[in-house]
A = this chain, B = another copy of it.
């Protein structure tokens, strides 16, 4: 096996429409829901029989929005402030020799729609449109290693406090569908999607992060992140 060509078995439908703002690991935003549409011939109900007995599944997927051929032996992970280089294999960077991602997500429901199977997932960190190459059940007795040593990323990242400006509160009050995403919106901003070198520095810039059909505008105010406004989104930047 000198090379292996993969074909998608499914595709992700996610409120994350661009890379900016996606949490850097699964589970950081437990409320986010995604739909995994299975693709023929693997969309038959038989292919997921018994999967509903598992609370979590692994997804092996492609970093489809990352240009290929750009992987280098070292990367500068945001967790290290973006200025220390480590080996690409010591990181979870999306710029990898083979652009494969690995995420454990909660399996909420196996649903049949017109005879085709789809999975409803929670807590994912996947971009809309992500091709999925494999789905495997999570095996806690083999894969839960609470005492493993986590290197430079031994603990979750730190959350920043978030406040909402009046315009943002008004946008939420006007739209019940949007209001249902309130916790998700706050969580995305709380994990501070800004480039690592910005965090902690004085930063006057207004950032926009796309969630579903909306653009969330926010700015740093000292250590707090302020959601300034929430507006109907322009076309995604991808």
Contacts and interface: CB of A to CB of B under 8 A. Distances in A.
Interface in A1-46: 1-9, 25-28, 41-42, 44, 46
B139 A9 contact: no
B2 A3 contact: no
A197 interface: no
A96 interface: yes
A49 B148 contact: no
User: A interface, how many residues as a size bin?
Assistant: 35 or more
Given A90-B49, A98-B7, A98-B134, A27 B148 contact: no
A200 interface: no
A133 B100 CA distance: 9
B87 A1 contact: no
8 closest A-B pairs by CB: A53-B151, A50-B86, A55-B149, A50-B90, A1-B64, A51-B90, A49-B87, A47-B73
Given A53-B149, A104-B143, 6 more contacts: A4-B6, A49-B87, A50-B87, A50-B90, A90-B137, A143-B143
